[in-house]
Amino acid sequence: MRIDVLTIFPAMFAGVCAEGILRIAREKRLLDVRVHDLRDWTHDAHRSVDDRPFGGGPGMVMKPEPVFEAVAAVEEEPPAPQRILLCPQGETFTQETAGELARAERLLLIAGHYEGFDERIRIGLACREISIGDYVLTGGEIPAMALIDTVVRLLPGVLGKEASLAEESFADPGAPGLEYPHYTRPREFRGMAVPDVLLSGNHAEIRRWREEQSRLRTELRRKAP
């Protein structure tokens, strides 16, 4: 999968792409992340990417020209990507969304700043608008990183065979359950013991216990308001 990111803070992505699963995915050539500085598509001395809002009001707005020019430049190379605008007004990002995006060949993520994007970026570029949650960040970079991380670990060959995508939280879009409790050594820690069933070797019992724990936890923490 190829992922292009348009941002005014490209350096923010260096660490995320150079560590852990994302580094392994890039080394395995399963992921090609290209981060582009939106200011490279400005033409004034101040390399302006924002301007004051028409109609007045606080803050600044992302200008359309640099975004349109950057998208055109990045899309010169085929295949055409799925364009994604990270913004609080977008559809809420879920594991199901991640599963969908993981089937794409190429994504183009647009990270904003300030009060938001000039509306003509939405109208003219027809991006899929995605929000990582109903709260306001200083920029779209962290949402873009969250999306990349969630999608890349679903790419075939990225996580080792042992990883059980099927058993983890939200794995089943139809019935988003929370994952059961995990334990590792030591058997006893500060008076807290590992449940006997997990030491029993009785896999049928262990599965039943884990399903029950997942059901209880989901009911407790995700019951409908």
The residues of the shown chain that bind ligand 4FV, judged by CB under 6 A, are: 86-88, 112-114, 116, 131-133, 135-137, 139-140, 143
Structure tokens at 140: 């779209």
Strands 61-62 and 82-92 turn out to be unpaired
- Which of 81, 143 has the CB closer to ligand 4FV? 143
- Which of 87, 127 has the CB closer to ligand 4FV? 87
> Cα-flanking dihedrals φ and ψ of residue 136, to 5°?
-110, 120
| Minimal distance, residue 77 CB to ligand 4FV, in Å | 26
| Minimal distance, residue 65 CB to ligand 4FV, in Å | 17
For 193, left (φ over 0), alpha (ψ -120 to 50), or beta?
Answer: beta
| Minimal distance, residue 179 CB to ligand 4FV, in Å | 24
- Which of 79, 133 has the CB closer to ligand 4FV? 133
Is residue 81 classed as helix, strand or coil in its secondary structure?
Answer: coil
| Minimal distance, residue 152 CB to ligand 4FV, in Å | 18
Q: Please give the C-alpha separations between residue 182 and each of 20, 177, 179, 194, 210, in angstroms, as whole numbers.
A: 21, 15, 9, 9, 9
- Which of 116, 177 has the CB closer to ligand 4FV? 116
> Cα-flanking dihedrals φ and ψ of residue 32, to 5°?
-130, 100
